[in-house]
């Protein structure tokens, strides 16, 4: 607990006294110098996560489509470019080869970024408990800007797609997007009380969706009109703008320790102690179980998301960039509908049951998509999953409430690593299943994901019943937190 003026414990008592609507404002610690400029809005890291997500959501589907186009050139396939993609091309061997190569290169790029980022996110997250949150938000933004620069060079010079992997590793060395997630969620934990934390976390999740929705619409239209180059210049500019915003406007919430070192094994030990010690009876078991639930939910989300573009590009859907953009926008709209649904459900349901409703929506959406052979049915699948993101803010909040204020950075660093690991495992599993089931049942990976979600649903339901029973025994009433 050494340098923990963790700030913001400031809001810890605020929420318990009932002021849970003040979700964005907080005071800078008295011994902290303010940022160079005062922010004109009553928000802090919301623009950070919005801008970073916008850049990621803009480039991710474009990268997949760029890989598809480049690899199509390499194998001599031009079916989609000449309008030849239709039901009759379903068994075209060249199309299957392009799909397989694209899935494999997506896996290699994600694997490279994860292996490097796994070490760096753990260091940066725990380090932020001692050195401050601002640096952990600035460094990954610069790394993502470097990655966009490398991608632009690949496109201008027509370099081999291997260089995409190099760009991703450059981003991983700075913590990648997961470090920004860890920093933002730790920042919110610093500045919110237990009563308002779930909704504060849900606001950040909604920023993810709002940014993704705008990026998807812009990316599809822009790619169709101008090609790949201009959108990636915007990705580069957005990441630089994010770093500048943090430097100018975001106040610090942790009193920096000048002796805190980044390259130290103490940061990894802090994460280990978090999950190994049992300071409160049952805390360790709950941490592991909620982390397992988070891993499975995110793995299904990441794995299915990686396949959506491939699923839509090929027959029988044969979508172009514009439809892919609209489909991704509708999918990201679920972040906002999940936020509104979560807020409404919290009026009458405990957080555990809110998460179960979100998982149910996710399962139904995946089942519909797995049988989608037409455009309306695909959009229907996106639509019925309108609450699919209601479970992840509940899980983040429950994890945050189990640890001390001085452990928030270490916790969300570990959560970011779990998120990265789940993304990697999802890439390995889903990108292996998809090519293997192309000829038998193309939508099987989505059915597989829906089946996996029954496991976290059972765990969350069981823990929810246990927590309700414990509150009853302690005479605390039911509550909704």
Flag whether pLDDT at 384 surpasses 90: yes
360 φ, ψ (degrees, to nearest 5):
-65, -45
Per-residue confidence band for 19, with pLDDT thresholds at 50, 70 and 90: very low
Per-residue confidence band for 268, with pLDDT thresholds at 50, 70 and 90: low
Flag whether pLDDT at 104 surpasses 60: yes
Flag whether pLDDT at 89 surpasses 80: no
Q: Classify burial at 119, counting beta carbons within 10 Å of its beta carbon; exposed 0-12, middle 13-18, buried 19 or more.
A: middle
Q: Please, are residues 327 and 382 in contact by the beta-carbon 8 Å criterion?
A: yes
Angle at 353 between CA 347 and CA 359, to 5 degrees: 120
Q: Please, are residues 443 and 312 in contact by the beta-carbon 8 Å criterion?
A: no
pLDDT digits (tens, 9 = 90+) for 113-145: 878 888 888 888 777 887 788 888 999 999 999
Per-residue confidence band for 165, with pLDDT thresholds at 50, 70 and 90: very high
Flag whether pLDDT at 28 surpasses 70: no
CA distance 170 to 274: 29
The pLDDT, as a whole number, for residue 393 is 93
Q: How would DSSP label each residue in 244-308?
A: HHHHHHPPP-S---TT--SS-THHHHHHHHHHH--SSTTHHHHHHHHHHHHHHHHHHHHHHHHHH
Identify the CATH homologous superfamily for domain 41-255+283-467.
MFS general substrate transporter like domains (1.20.1250.20)
The pLDDT, as a whole number, for residue 10 is 39
CA distance 190 to 32: 15
Flag whether pLDDT at 218 surpasses 70: yes
CA distance 60 to 147: 12
The pLDDT, as a whole number, for residue 463 is 93
Flag whether pLDDT at 20 surpasses 50: no
Is the peptide bond prior to 152 cis by the omega test (within 30 degrees of 0)? no
Q: b vs e for 238-256, b when ≥16 Cβ sit within 10 Å of the residue's Cβ?
A: bbbbbbebbbebbbbbbbb
- Which whole number is the average pLDDT over 176-187? 89
- Which whole number is the average pLDDT over 83-91? 52
CA distance 351 to 394: 6
- Residue 159: left if φ>0, alpha if ψ -120 to 50, beta else—which one? beta
Flag whether pLDDT at 26 surpasses 60: no
- Which whole number is the average pLDDT over 380-384? 94
The pLDDT, as a whole number, for residue 92 is 67
The pLDDT, as a whole number, for residue 14 is 41
Query: In a 3-state reduction of DSSP, which class is residue 24?
Result: coil
The DSSP letter of residue 27 is P
pLDDT digits (tens, 9 = 90+) for 387-430: 999 999 999 999 998 888 878 888 888 888 888 788 878 878 99
Residues 6+ apart with CB under 8 A from 3: 129, 130, 254, 255, 256, 257, 260
pLDDT digits (tens, 9 = 90+) for 294-345: 999 999 998 998 789 888 888 888 888 778 878 888 888 888 899 899 999 9
Per-residue confidence band for 38, with pLDDT thresholds at 50, 70 and 90: low
Per-residue confidence band for 354, with pLDDT thresholds at 50, 70 and 90: very high
pLDDT digits (tens, 9 = 90+) for 143-164: 999 999 999 999 999 888 889 9
CA distance 384 to 365: 5
Percent of the chain with pLDDT over 90: 31
pLDDT digits (tens, 9 = 90+) for 39-83: 555 568 899 999 999 998 888 878 888 888 888 888 877 755 544
Q: Is the alpha carbon torsion for 406, 408, 409, 414 positive or negative?
A: positive
Per-residue confidence band for 5, with pLDDT thresholds at 50, 70 and 90: very low
**Where do we find the tokens 């909604």?**
206
For the chain, the distance separating the N- and C-terminal CA atoms, rounded to the nearest angstrom, is: 26
Task: Take residue 397 and report the two structure tokens written for it.
Answer: 């909040």
CA distance 13 to 23: 13
Residues 6+ apart with CB under 8 A from 323: 220, 312, 375
Flag whether pLDDT at 102 surpasses 60: yes
> Largest Cα–Cα distance in the chain?
70
What does the domain layout of the chain look like in residue ranges?
A: 41-255+283-467
Q: How many CB atoms lie within 10 A of CB 109?
A: 21
The mean predicted confidence, pLDDT, of the chain is 82
Percent of the chain with pLDDT over 70: 83
Per-residue confidence band for 225, with pLDDT thresholds at 50, 70 and 90: low
Q: What is the pTM of this model?
A: 0.75
Per-residue confidence band for 446, with pLDDT thresholds at 50, 70 and 90: very high
Flag whether pLDDT at 17 surpasses 50: no
């Amino acid at each position: 607990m050494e340098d923990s003026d963790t700030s913001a414990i400031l809001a810890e008592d605020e929420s318990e006294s009932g002021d849970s609507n003040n979700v964005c404002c907080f005071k800078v610690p008295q011994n902290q110098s303010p940022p160079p400029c005062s922010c004109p809005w009553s928000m802090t890291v919301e623009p950070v996560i919005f801008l970073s997500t916008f850049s990621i959501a803009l480039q991710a589907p474009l990268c997949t489509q760029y890989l598809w186009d480049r690899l199509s050139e390499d194998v001599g396939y031009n079916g989609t470019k000449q309008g030849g993609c239709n039901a009759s091309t379903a068994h075209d061997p060249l199309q299957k080869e392009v799909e397989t190569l694209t899935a494999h290169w997506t896996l290699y790029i994600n694997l490279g970024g994860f292996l490097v980022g796994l070490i760096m996110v753990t260091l940066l997250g725990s380090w932020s408990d001692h050195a401050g949150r601002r640096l952990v938000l600035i460094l990954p933004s610069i790394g993502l800007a470097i990655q966009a620069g490398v991608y632009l060079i690949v496109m201008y010079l027509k370099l081999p797609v291997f260089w995409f992997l190099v760009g991703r590793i450059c981003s991983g060395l700075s913590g990648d997007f997961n470090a920004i997630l860890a920093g933002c969620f730790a920042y919110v934990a610093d500045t919110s009380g237990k009563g308002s934390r779930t909704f504060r976390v849900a606001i950040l999740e909604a920023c993810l969706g709002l940014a993704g929705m705008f990026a998807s619409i812009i990316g599809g239209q822009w790619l169709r009109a101008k090609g790949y180059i201009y959108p990636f210049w915007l990705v580069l500019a957005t990441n630089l703008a994010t770093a500048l915003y943090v430097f100018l406007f975001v106040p610090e919430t942790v009193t920096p320790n000048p002796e805190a070192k980044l390259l130290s094994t103490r940061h990894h030990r802090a994460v280990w102690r978090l999950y190994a010690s049992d300071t409160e009876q049952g805390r360790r078991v709950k941490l592991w179980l909620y982390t397992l639930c988070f891993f499975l939910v995110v793995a299904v989300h990441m794995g299915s998301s990686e396949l959506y573009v491939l699923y839509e590009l090929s027959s029988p859907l044969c979508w172009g960039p514009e439809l892919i953009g609209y489909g991704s926008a509708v999918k990201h709209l679920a972040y906002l509908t999940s936020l509104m649904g979560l807020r409404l459900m919290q009026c009458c349901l405990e957080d555990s049951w809110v998460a179960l409703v979100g998982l149910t929506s996710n399962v139904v959406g995946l089942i519909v998509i797995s049988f989608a052979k037409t455009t309306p049915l695909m959009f229907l699948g996106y639509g019925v999953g309108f609450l699919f993101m209601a479970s992840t803010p509940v899980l983040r909040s429950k994890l945050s409430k189990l640890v001390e204020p001085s452990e928030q950075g270490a916790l969300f660093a570990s959560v970011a690593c779990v998120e990265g690991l789940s993304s990697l495992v999802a890439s390995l599993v889903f990108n292996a299943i998809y090519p293997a089931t192309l000829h038998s049942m193309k939508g099987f990976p989505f059915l597989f994901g829906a089946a996996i979600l029954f496991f976290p649903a059972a765990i969350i339901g069981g823990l929810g019943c246990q927590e309700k029973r414990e509150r009853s025994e302690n005479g605390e009433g039911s509550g909704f937190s």
